[in-house]
Amino acid sequence: MAPQETPPGEDRTPPTPSPRVAAFFDLDKTIIATSSAFAFGREFMHNGLISYLDALQLSLAKSSYMVIGQSSEKMDSTRDQLTNLVAGWSVDEVGRIASEAMHSVVTPAIYAEARELITFHQSAGHDVIIISASASQLVEPIAKELGIDQVVATELEVVDGRFTGEVDFYCKGPAKADAIMAMAESHGYDLAASFAYSDSATDIPMLEQVGNPVAVNPDRQMKKHALDNGWELRSFRDPVPLLTMPNAREMGIGAGVVASIAALTAGGLWIAQRSRGNDGDRSA
């Protein structure tokens, strides 16, 4: 039998599939106006995992992060501090606390602009991925709240259901870029058509992997790099990302933070005044 001919005007060439597009989102100061690593300190204290002093130190570190951000070296120091803190904790208990505290701690801190942008990408058929240096046990409840199925985050070593204090995978800087390239290969993402969003200069390697990099609430180095390279800049302001007056839920730790800062300031002034007085005595 002779091969069947294609009727005139009919094209039997298989359609070219549309490129698969991804939108990669950093978490802290990009999706949420806080630090996911520090946000649960009060809840860990109330559940007996840390002392009031530990919770206060976490709150102070969070306040510093919100005002001045974190350098690469500071991120490493924070990682070491937190992994030492959680050594021996039950993974299930941490997951339970994070999930139960979501609506009181994290949900109010989610930027409305980020929610809208995530919804836009999902409606466009794009895969949305959170890629964060925070531990996966803290990131996954936030992703679930936002209807995001894929998370790439720092993985802490677990033995017999408890954290050991070691890190299996640190999702920071170049590691984020490597993770994006690996996902592009395994999921067939067209990175030239994909998007990435972050505030921090440590994520420049990640944003450089996509055709649509966006600097959100950028720190100084990220803003300079974005302007130099023609990247889009966006400002998310709802909720306001910097320090605000504590509400009723935050008064316990918030008051302690204010008191500690005041005490440290007063102590510094007293030492300075005493030093000047002693200098005057010696010069008399």
Beta bridge partners of 220: none
Answer for the pair 139, 119: CB distance below 8 angstroms, yes or no.
no
Say which of 28, 199, 203, 219 is annotated catalytic.
28
Map tokens 């009031």 to a residue: 52
CA distance 157 to 86: 11
Q: Which of 136, 71, 64, 145 is nearest to 102 (CA)?
A: 145
Residue 190 falls in the annotated catalytic set:
no
Say which of 26, 127, 199, 219 is annotated catalytic.
26
Residue 28 falls in the annotated catalytic set:
yes
The DSSP call for residue 171 is -
Tell me, rounded to whole angstroms, the distance of Cα 280 from its chain centroid.
50
Helix, strand, coil percent content, the chain, rounded in steps of 5: 50, 15, 30
Q: Where are the alpha helices (DSSP H) in 193-250?
A: 204-207, 220-229
DSSP for 134-150? EEHHHHHHHHHHTT--E
The residues annotated as belonging to the active site are: 26, 28
